[in-house]
Amino acid sequence: MSAAGRPAPTDRSAPADRSARTGRAAPVARTAPADPAAASDATGSSRPRLDDLIQAERDIVARLDEVGIDADLDAFSVISNIYRAATAIRRHMETRVLAPEQLSWTAFVTLWVLWIWDEMEARHLAAEAGITKGTLTGVLDTLERRGLVTRRRHDDDRRLLSVRLTDDGQALLARIYPAFNAEEAAVADLVSDADRASVVTGLRDIVRGLPDLDDT
């Protein structure tokens, strides 16, 4: 990673003191988010240790406290960790399993849903894949161009569109899904046995409850 000609130290950064800006003295010493030495990219600071993650969350509250805002740390932890985990997983899957096949996460999910349910009307497919119909149109364009799916208009109701995998698409899924699922297992194994059930039910509660929260 770093070897010969020597980098260019660069990290004389570290968020310095902002007290002048906020007009308040900083009551607690906060650790800078920094990240000396090479972050591969976007992973949110390379190789975080557990302490770092927790410390970072504490820093947030300290900072918010400075500005006189009483934020709900637990809530923040829940939401931020869900989102971080999700993007980390997506990226992991994309680079490890999907990239060799030139597939994006969404393209894969779409193919996978079709693989499971064999044939589907567009709006259901969009819902199952978790994207809007507008997005699905573009995704299908890509997949169709690559010969992985086919579109077919219904004869009795010409508004409807049925989508299904081609043989190539079917073969592709049969080839990569085992690897995908194995990788899923590896990720899930990062969670302790004690926590796993709670993680699943907790997240399910959110998925189930959010629509109701949407229109309040």
Partner DNA sequence: GGTCGTTCGTTCGGCCCCGAACGGTAGCGG
Partner DNA sequence: CCGCTACCGTTCGGGGCCGAACGAACGACC
Could you give the CA distance from residue 142 to residue 51 in angstroms, rounded to a whole number? 43
Q: Which is nearer to DNA, 78 or 109 (CB)?
A: 109
C-alpha dist (Å) from residue 99 to 28, 47, 78, 107: 44, 22, 30, 11
Per CB under 7 A, does 122 bind DNA?
Answer: yes
- If contact means CB under 5 to 8 A according to the sort of partner, which of DNA, its own copies, none does residue 89 touch? its own copies
- Of the candidates 81, 54, 56, 109, which has an alpha carbon nearest to the alpha carbon of residue 206? 81
Rounded to a whole number of angstroms, the minimum distance from the CB of residue 51 to DNA is: 23
Per CB under 7 A, does 16 bind DNA?
Answer: no
Kindly tell me which residue out of 17, 51, 74, 156 binds DNA, with binding defined by CB under 7 A: 156
Rounded to a whole number of angstroms, the minimum distance from the CB of residue 140 to its own copies is: 15
Kindly tell me which residue out of 51, 157, 167, 215 binds DNA, with binding defined by CB under 7 A: 157
- Of the candidates 118, 174, 108, which has an alpha carbon nearest to the alpha carbon of residue 146? 108
Could you give the CA distance from residue 30 to residue 7 in angstroms, rounded to a whole number? 28
Per CB under 7 A, does 7 bind DNA?
Answer: yes
Could you give the CA distance from residue 46 to residue 39 in angstroms, rounded to a whole number? 5
Could you give the CA distance from residue 184 to residue 180 in angstroms, rounded to a whole number? 6
Kindly tell me which residue out of 130, 147, 178, 202 binds DNA, with binding defined by CB under 7 A: 130
- If contact means CB under 5 to 8 A according to the sort of partner, which of DNA, its own copies, none does residue 61 touch? none
